[in-house]
Homo-oligomer: A and B are copies of this chain.
Amino acid sequence: MSSWFEASYSPGTRLSLRITRWLCTRRSPYQTIDIFDTDDFGRVLALDGVINVTERDEFIYHEMLTHVPLFVHPRPGRVLVIGGGDGGTVREVLKHPCVEKVLLVEIDREVVAASREYLPALSCALGDPRVDIRYEDAVRFIARPDQAFDIIIIDSTDPAGPGAGLFTADFYRNCRAALAPGGILTAQSESPFFDAATVGQIYAAAGRVFGRPRMYTAFVPSYVSGVWSFLFCADHCNPAADFQSERYQACAAAFRYYSDAMHAAAFALPPWIKHQCAV
């Protein structure tokens, strides 16, 4: 008998993955954490029944969330990662030799512990000496940050659940105040296909704080609808055109989805997304 993990996109659509081996279920104060192996997506981490990362396609999400801002900023030294307790974003950040410090602010220590135990390909960089981890609500942390950051990356769950406070104008305002001059913020910003209204609200909230929030996209097969959007906020730059070519060339071989061409292409948006999400 085989059993299946069913991820609901909506009440009327779901993606089902056949489970080859169940590894763990933990209930933290914030969410239920499930980890299991599948035929097609390798090992999967699900939070409250929603696919969070899969070994097979996590590189797409993490590369695009990370390298787009890091290759626009001329010299990112200090990086704040909010959420992202699996470690995938930190792993990508540390591919940039210019990064001196990464602070990971994750509310749920159980996610980090489970990832360290079961997802070594993601959590492998969490022990790097440049990384500090604080187990704290990022909403509280960002209200009184004790340092400034060149890059802030919001690697959150969906707006329902523990991630809800990470999509508000108040939160973005505090993030902006925590950015050093020339700083850049990126965030995962949901599926423009399945939830255009939510996406529109995210960009409206960011737009009240940053001049013109920009959207870029990538395909992530294990996420709702297969297309995912990312929020890019900065005071002065053209993210599709401003690109640190020399730094990129020095480590281009480290990337599987990201490239100079993909960087520029990701900012091209179908007219329908621009219209539906008002971006």
Contact = CB atoms under 8 A, between A and B. Distances in A.
Given A219-B227, A262-B268, A262-B270, 7 more contacts: A12-B39, A13-B18, A13-B38, A16-B16, A226-B227, A261-B268, A261-B269
B270 A40 contact: no
A268 B272 contact: no
A53 B255 CA distance: 33
Nearest to A274: B259
Interface in A1-59: 6, 9-18, 20, 38-41, 57, 59
Interface of A: 6, 9-18, 20, 38-41, 57, 59-60, 193-194, 217, 219-221, 225-227, 255-259, 261-262, 264-266, 268-272
Most B CB contacts (10 A, CB to CB) among A10, A217, A272 go to: A272
Contacts of A269: 261-262
A59 B271 CA distance: 12
A262 B267 CA distance: 9
A235 to B, nearest CB: 24
Most B CB contacts (10 A, CB to CB) among A20, A57, A225, A270 go to: A270
A262 B39 CA distance: 33
7 contacts: A9-B40, A12-B39, A12-B40, A14-B15, A40-B194, A59-B272, A221-B227
A67 to B, nearest CB: 12
A115 to B, nearest CB: 23
The 3 closest A-B pairs by CB, nearest first: A226-B226, A12-B39, A265-B268
A256 B16 CA distance: 29
A270 B259 CA distance: 7
Nearest to A221: B225
Contacts of A220: 226
A229 B36 CA distance: 30
Contacts of A17: 12-13
Most B CB contacts (10 A, CB to CB) among A41, A226, A266, A272 go to: A226
